[in-house]
Amino acid sequence: MKKNVLKRNHAVYALVMALIISLSVMLLSGCGGNDDGRSDATGKPASNATALPGGATTAPSQDDGYVFKKGDVTIVMNAKAADIIAALGEPSNYYESPSCAFEGMDKTYSYPGFDVTTYTESGVDYISGVVFWDDSVETPEGLYIGASAADVQRIYGADAAGKTNVQLEKGSSYLLILLKDDLVSSIQYLAKN
Amino acid sequence: MSFVSLGFLAFLAVLMLLYYTVPKRGQWILLLAGSVFFYAFAGWSSLIFITVTALSTYFAGIYIGKLASARDAYLKGEGKELDKEAKKAYKAKVKKRTYLIMSLCLILNLGMLAVIKYTDFGISIINGIFKTNIGFLRFALPMGISFYIFQSMGYIIDVYRGKYAPEKNVARFCLFVSFFPQLLQGPISRFDELSKTLYGPHDFDWDKFARGAWRVVWGFFKKMIIADRMITAVIELSGRPDKYKGVYVVALVLFYAIELYADFTGGIDITIGVAEMLGIQVAENFDRPFFSLNITEYWRRWHITMGTWFKDYIFYPLSVSPKMLKISKWSREKLGNAIGKRVPVYLSTIIVWFATGLWHGAAWNFIVWGLLNCLVIIISQELSPLYGKFHKRFGFSNTKGYNVFQMFRTFWLMGFIRVLDVYRDVPGTFKQVGTIFTTANWGDLFNGSFLELGLAWQDFIVILLGCAVMLTVSILQNKGQVRDRIILKRPVPVRLILFAALILIIAVFGAYGIGYDAGQFIYVQF
Amino acid sequence: MKKALKIIVKIVALAALLVLCLGLLQRLLVPKYITENEEGLLVKEYYDYAGENDVLFIGDCEVYSNFSPVKLWQDFGITSAIRGSPQQLIWHSYYMLEDTLRHEKPKVVVFNVLSMKYGEPQSEAYNRLALDGMKWSNTKVRAIRASMTEEEADSEGFTIASYVFPLLRFHSRWNELSGEDFKYLFSTRQLSHNGYVMRVDSKPVTEIPRAKPLADYSFSDTCWNYLNKIRELCDDNGIQLILIKAPTLMPHWYDEWDEQIVKYAADNGLCYVNMLKEAETIGIDYYSENADTFDAGMHLNLNGAEKLSEWFGNYLKANTALGDRRTESHTCVIWQEKEDYYEEMKNAQYTQLREEGKLTGYWG
């Protein structure tokens, strides 16, 4: 008889516990839901006091920063160079300059209208820049060598009139536009260190 | 000043030299000066906060003490003739005043902590609910504020409860609040315990000094060889959740458990060791928690002084508070005795764990972390009769093998809850843990992928050997302190060589200098 | 008293044991620069040949690869030394000059201006190459502080300590130790010829990448400041300062940069010679199979360095009051030894080149 009571009690406990667990799970996912909406906001005070800079070394994703597109190939600053260079095809010229003493090799690949440069880190090449040489190429936004300061203003919203250079910053890249007499004389993509 | 810095070692060397050369009466004053210097290193502005805490708590303590002794004097003198009822009323009146003073002190200090630590979190919640866009204040967290405020609040509550008389000397009290070895990450000391040895006088005692030095070096070993090396992988794994799923989440759980343990206990070893070198006894904060058979035991063995603080100053008072008694009565009536009697206990438990989570950090992930701990504790408590029956039936529950299984289970359970710390994103953490079942990438264990986490195979070997040493020491500690049992029994030359070897190992294999993040103790942030 | 003595003995014993072991470990773990980054030997080697040099070259690889003091001695009787290291920045050069003046007082200082293009510390690793070998003095401490990268400056005390005890910097080399670290535990090899690093092989220039236009060609204030300091230090010591740009094609030297140096030299009454413009007169061959460069235009090889040194010896004769010291018998004895080692290394390199088709190290 006593055993039965115990058993029944257990059944009640089990029921209550099941309730508690499911409630908690709902509560937790509720928290999660709240958190999701402003993960950015809540993340900040926490990171204010953090010893673990989580994500500090996150590599740039494909879509941040200025990119140059040649045909189907998208050239992203600080991206691994191998696939990009392979996709661009045989360069018309290639130059490599080793560093003094330490390992490391800066490479320049020349293509009609533009150069791509790379740097080495731990044996892997990464894109360090793109330089335009003539108006046969243009940025995906539509700027080319010979365009006017007004075009720079229209396309990038940067006041370039009367200036010799405009440097725009986005993600892990800079876009450097040089001007002479209010005409674009050089366009360069640079990787941020 | 981080423990792992040349500056700290130099500071320690000068302090030790002075400590044992100045007149003994002056030793504690020197410690106070040293602590102020240590704290001033973190910026003069943060000195203001600790001064406010120290002085407000000191004066509140003195005032409460005065009222209490006036009461005692009165009851023994003029009030001797009063009848029982009148005495009781008089006592209640005094108690009300001391309660008021204590409350003011608590409100001031906890308020200060709340404003500095939790304002931005509050703002983020308000912004979230009301879709407002209030800017964050971004206060810099003064070093060790959570620790010294909790330590001081423990003191004022004890004085209020009449557990001990308040400290009369303001400078001596300031030393209790600011004693430098425990400023960075605790332990949270109790005044009656720490004050026994804190104020000296201390003769130079070679054996005590050597014991302390061994413990300091052991702390550096854990911190610099294991934790600071491991942290590279922990940051990489937790920083790129999109890339590291499945087996990597399991790895993160393991790595973070080891990293945090080595870092935190290493830091505490340095704290206790330094104090020991000064002849001062600081409370232990860990008792090899990874050998715990269940989570309740784990929390008795991990960050012990924090656990007992919450138990003594929140859980117990909460459980016996009139409101809780009312709830208890109500729930027993409505829900029956079996469930009803659990309601107040669990309610207190939930509140304590919520507070513990919040204490660790002003973010949802810490709160959820606290509540998950609480959930597991409650569940295991509820299931314990079931377990009991199960064990009785099968009878292997006391075998070594089963104990190892229990340790293993507790280790991983705590580990999975703990990753909330590093992902810092509640739904993200659950998602990541979920990928263990959905991403079949266990092959990455053997194809060299793990060598791309920022650690070379040599690093893994160093970590592995370091962990082996750590584990061996822990097992040896089952029978008592390794220093007393093994090291300090050897002849002096052997001890010197062993000690020198340990330093050399740290100098070579420690993760420090260029290329290594000058990693701070993780608990410094709390 | 007896107890105190015992404790002191224990502590002294421990300290002595530790110092001994740490010293040994440090020797083992510090890079030896014999098969890798050999240029790390340069700064330290200077102290072996300090003392009697009339001309001092300071700068980066554009001096230590391109000028041969032995050639200057053989053809002109000019005694000279080079204090250069890889990517030596202008503040390194300034402090190197200051350090040199503690050991000798040259009559002419030749500074290569390429480093004017770097206004900020570039790399911790190159700092070590430039500074580790320098003897300790107040100058070295100031040099370290001036050279620190952001990361190094963040823990300045540690950085300086790591120069005093290089173990703090190189302790993590335990996983790269090789036979060389044991073989050269207590010894080293001589790399340079009064600071000149010899290479006899050739790799012609095939392509030079187009030099992209810059947004701003002006040198940084820091660089001008150090250039002024170099000039003033020379003035104060009665030393003639000559500015040069070595005739190597990479990295690109912009006309806009050149104009600024020309103006600076004119304003301060200094000689400045841009040897890129003299390359034809000098007779440097960049393009043929046996070109005068070993890495396609960045550095000259032995032939190129000797051609350049011959040309520059004449320039020195014409523009300075340096005399021919081949009449001093004790100087001749010293330089005879240098000539012998120069010949020895040259022969060893040519032999290896002939037999193996390529150079694997400076010692052949």
- Per-chain mean pLDDT for chain A: 71
**Does the structure show a pLDDT above 80 at C256?**
yes
- Lookup: tokens for C45: 């080697």
Residue B463: CB atoms within 10 Å: 23
Q: Which of B409, A103, A149, A186 is nearest to C126 (CA)?
A: A103
Using the Cβ of B2 and the Cβ atoms of chain A, whether some distance falls under 8 Å is answered with no
- DSSP H stretches of helix in chain C: 2-29, 42-49, 61-64, 69-76, 90-101, 124-131, 138-147, 150-154, 156-164, 167-170, 179-183, 221-236, 255-268, 279-282, 302-319, 329-356
| Residue C76 covered by a domain | yes
| Rounded-to-integer distance, Cα A188 and Cα A184, Å | 11
Q: Which residues of A touch B126 (CB under 8 A)?
A: none
- A95 in reach of chain C (CB within 8 A): yes
User: Are A179 and A92 in a shared domain?
Assistant: yes
> Which residue of chain C has the CA closest to B209?
C7
Q: Report the SS3 class of residue B118.
A: helix
**C207 to A93: CB separation less than 8 angstroms, yes or no:** yes
Amino acid occupying residue C162: S
Do B275 and B369 share a domain, yes or no?
no
Mean pLDDT score across all residues of chain C: 93
Report for B377-391, B437-451, C302-316: range of highest mean pLDDT: C302-316
Report the range of poorest mean pLDDT among B9-13, B42-46, B348-352, B507-511: B42-46
Q: Strand A73-76 and strand A105-111: pairing?
A: unpaired
Q: How far is C148 from chain B (nearest CA, A)?
A: 12
Mean per-residue pLDDT of chain B: 87
What are the DSSP calls for C304-339, one per residue?
Answer: HHHHHHHHHHHHHHHHS-PPP-TT-HHHHHHHHHHH
Asked if the C-beta of A187 comes within 8 angstroms of chain C's C-beta atoms, the answer is no
In this prediction, residue C339 carries a pLDDT of 96
Of B7, B499, B508, the CB nearest to C14: B499
Q: Shortest CB distance from B124 goes to which of A12, A13, A38?
A: A38
Mean pLDDT of C232-249: 95
Nearest-neighbour CA in chain A from C295: distance (Å): 8
pLDDT of residue B170: 93
Name the minimum distance, in Å, from the CA of B76 to any CA of chain A: 53
- Overall domain count for chain C: 1
Distance CA A111, CA A70 (A): 10
Asked whether residue B129 falls in the same domain as residue B34, the answer is yes
Q: What is the pLDDT of residue B457?
A: 87
Q: Is the pLDDT of residue B118 over 60?
A: yes
Q: Chain A residue with minimal CA distance to B378?
A: A17
Judge whether A61 lies within some domain: no
Chains that touch C (3 or more CB pairs under 8 A): A, B
Residue C4 falls inside a structural domain = no
Q: Quick one: CA dihedral C357, C358, C360, C363, positive or negative?
A: positive
Of B492, B500, B513, the CB nearest to C169: B513
Q: Are strands C240-245 and C271-274 parallel, antiparallel or unpaired?
A: parallel
- Going by pLDDT thresholds of 50, 70 and 90, the confidence category of residue B372 is very high
Interchain CB distance below 8 Å, C21 and B206: no
Substitution target in A13, A48, A80 with the highest count of B β-carbons within 10 Å is A48
Check: complex ipTM more than 0.85: no
Same domain, A125 and A169: yes
pLDDT at A12 over 60: no
Residue B387 pLDDT: 79
For C239, the token pair is 């030393």
* Domain span including residue A159: 67-191
**Touching subunits for chain B (3+ Cβ pairs under 8 A):** A, C
CB atoms within 10 A of CB B289: 19
Among C7, C14, C123, the residue to mutate for chain B (most B Cβ within 10 A): C14
What CATH number has the domain bearing residue A176?
A: 3.40.33.10
For residue C170, being part of any structural domain is answered with no
pLDDT band for B513, please (50, 70, 90 cuts): confident
Question: Which one-letter amino acid corresponds to residue C316?
Answer: L
| Whether C14 and B500 lie within 8 Å, measured CB to CB | yes
What's the pLDDT tens digit per position in B456-487? 888 899 999 999 999 999 888 888 888 877 78
Give chain A's domain count. 2
CB atoms C86 and A178 under 8 Å: no
| Cβ–Cβ < 8 Å for C292, C205 | no
Has residue A46 been placed in a domain?
Answer: no
**Nearest Cα to B384, choosing from B296, B290, B288, B300?**
B296
Indicate whether C75 belongs to any domain: yes
Specify if C130 maps to a domain.
no
Same domain, A10 and A93: no
In chain A, whose CA is at the least distance from the CA of B144? A49
Confidence of residue B2 (pLDDT cuts 50, 70, 90): confident
Q: Is residue B4 part of a domain?
A: no
A contacts of C38 (beta carbons < 8 Å): 101
Interface-testing mutation among C212, C218, C299, with chain A (most A C-beta atoms within 10 A): C212
How close is the nearest chain A Cα to the Cα of B120, in Å?
A: 6
Say if residue A23 is in the same domain as residue A73: no
> Is B153:B109 a contact under the CB 8 Å cutoff?
yes
Q: What is the pLDDT of residues C72-82, one digit of tens each?
A: 999 999 999 99
Residues B306 and B329 in one domain: yes
Alpha-carbon distances, residue C85 vs A168, C31, C132 (angstroms): 36, 16, 11
Tell me the backbone φ, ψ of residue A107, rounded to 5 degrees: -120, 145
Contacts of A33 in chain B (CB under 8 A): 427
Residue-range definition of the domain harbouring residue B304: 292-420
Residue B113 or residue A103, greater confidence: B113
Domain tally for chain B? 3
Quote the strand ranges of A39-123, DSSP E: 67-70, 73-76, 93-98, 105-111, 114-121
Contact between B368 and A57 using a beta-carbon 8 Å cutoff: no
Task: Return all residues near A173 (Cβ < 8 A) that are at least 6 apart.
Answer: A65, A66, A67, A76, A77, A78, A189, A190, A191, A192
CATH of the domain at C56: 3.40.50.1110
pLDDT tens-place string over residues B164-217: 999 999 999 999 999 999 988 889 999 999 999 999 789 888 888 989 999 999
The tokens describing B402, both together, are 């089963």
- B25, B159: one domain: yes
In B, minimum Cα distance to C29 occurs at B508
- Find all residues with CB under 8 Å of A88, minimum gap 6, and list them: A70, A73, A109, A111, A116
Predicted local distance difference test score (pLDDT) of residue B516: 63
pLDDT in tens, B125-168: 888 888 777 777 777 778 888 899 999 999 999 999 989 999 99
pLDDT of residue B517 exceeding 60: no
| Average pLDDT score over residue span C301-328 | 95
Indicate the residue among B201, B230, B246 that finishes a domain: B201
Residues A1 and A85 in one domain: no
C177 three-class SS: coil
Q: Per the domain annotation, does C150 fall within a domain?
A: no
- Interface size A-C, in CB pairs within 8 Å, comes to 52
Residue C111 lies in a domain: yes
Average pLDDT over residues C233-244: 96
Average pLDDT over residues C191-195: 95
Name the amino acid, one letter, at B183. L
Dump pLDDT digits (tens) for C110-162: 999 999 999 998 888 899 999 999 999 999 999 999 999 888 888 888 899 99
Q: For residue C192, how many other CB atoms are within 10 A of its CB? A: 24
Q: Do C40 and A97 touch (CB under 8 A)?
A: no
| One domain for residues B172 and B134 | yes
Would you say residue C47 lies in a domain? yes
Identity of the residue in A102, A186, A188 whose CB atom sits nearest the CB atom of C125? A102
Report the gap between the CA of A22 and the closest CA in chain B (Å): 11
**Sign of the four-CA dihedral C272, C275, C276, C280:** positive
Residues of B in contact with C151 (CB under 8 A): 514
Residue A52 forms part of a structural domain? no
Whether residues A71 and A29 share a domain: the answer is no
Q: Predicted confidence band at B4 (pLDDT cuts at 50, 70, 90)?
A: confident
Location of structure tokens 């660089």: C223
Of the ranges C203-207, C226-230, C235-239, C282-286, which one carries the lowest mean pLDDT score? C203-207
In Å, how far is B235's CA from the nearest CA of chain A? Answer: 6
Check CB contact of A176 with chain C, cutoff 8 Å: yes
Instruction: Give B331-343 pLDDT, tens digit per residue.
Output: 888 888 878 878 8
Q: Which residues contact B427 (CB under 8 A, 6 or more apart)?
A: A29, A32, A33, A35, A36
pTM of the model as a whole: 0.83
Q: Which residues of chain B does A41 touch, with a Cβ-Cβ cutoff of 8 Å?
A: 123-124, 127-128, 136
Indicate whether A116 belongs to any domain: yes
Do B32 and B138 lie in one domain? The reply is yes
The beta-carbon neighbor of A42 closest among B124, B383, B519 is B124
* Residue whose C-alpha is closest to residue C124's, from C92, C93, C94: C92
In a domain, A88, yes or no: yes
Question: Which member of C129, C251, C295 has the closest CB to residue A101?
Answer: C129
Question: Which residues of A sit within 8 Å Cβ distance of B?
Answer: 9-10, 12-13, 16-17, 20-21, 24, 27-29, 31-39, 41-59
CB < 8 Å to A58, chain B: 239-240
Same domain, A71 and A135: yes
Residues of B in contact with C167 (CB under 8 A): 507-508
B343-352 burial, b if ≥16 CB within 10 A, otherwise e?
bbebbbbbbb
Does B42 share its domain with B189? Answer: yes
Give the domain extent around C116.
42-122+190-208+216-356
Distance from CA of A100 to the nearest CA of C (A): 6
Tell me if B287 is assigned to some domain. Answer: no
Residue A118 lies in a domain: yes
**Residue C320: φ, ψ to 5°:** -135, 175
Kindly state whether residues B260 and B304 are assigned to the same domain: no
Give the per-residue pLDDT at B397.
67
- In angstroms, rounded to a whole number, what is the distance separating the alpha carbons of residues C127 and C91? 11
Instruction: Using a CB–CB cutoff of 8 Å, tell me whether C22 touches chain B.
Output: yes
* Cβ neighbours of A12 in B, within 8 Å: 338-339
Give the C-side interface with A, CB within 8 Å: 37-40, 60-61, 86-87, 123, 125-126, 129, 207-210, 212-213, 215-216, 250-251, 295-296, 298
Q: Do A85 and A173 fall into the same domain?
A: yes
Q: Do A99 and C86 touch (CB under 8 A)?
A: yes
C17 touching B, CB under 8 A? Answer: yes
Whole-number percent of chain C with pLDDT over 70: 100
Encode pLDDT of B392-450 as tens digits.
Answer: 777 666 788 888 888 898 899 999 988 888 887 888 888 888 888 888 888 888 888 88
More confident residue, B54 or A48: B54
Choose one of B397, B420, B443: the last residue of a domain.
B420
Do B415 and B464 lie in one domain? The reply is no
| CA distances to B161, C285, C292, C299 from C289, in Å | 94, 9, 9, 16
Determine, for residues A49 and B525 on separate chains, whether the beta-carbon distance falls below 8 Å: yes
Whether the CB of A91 is below 8 Å from some CB of chain C: the reply is: no
Q: Which residues from C are below 8 Å from B228, CB to CB?
A: none
Q: Which of B138, B167, B201 is at the close of a domain?
A: B201
> How many Cβ atoms are within 10 Å of B44's Cβ, its own excluded?
9
Asked if residue A15 and residue A90 are part of one domain, the reply reads no
Mutation target to probe the A interface, by most A beta carbons within 10 A, among B141, B375, B420 is B375
pLDDT digits (tens, 9 = 90+) for A42-80: 222 222 222 222 222 233 344 478 999 888 889 999 888
Minimal-distance CA residue of chain C relative to B514: C169
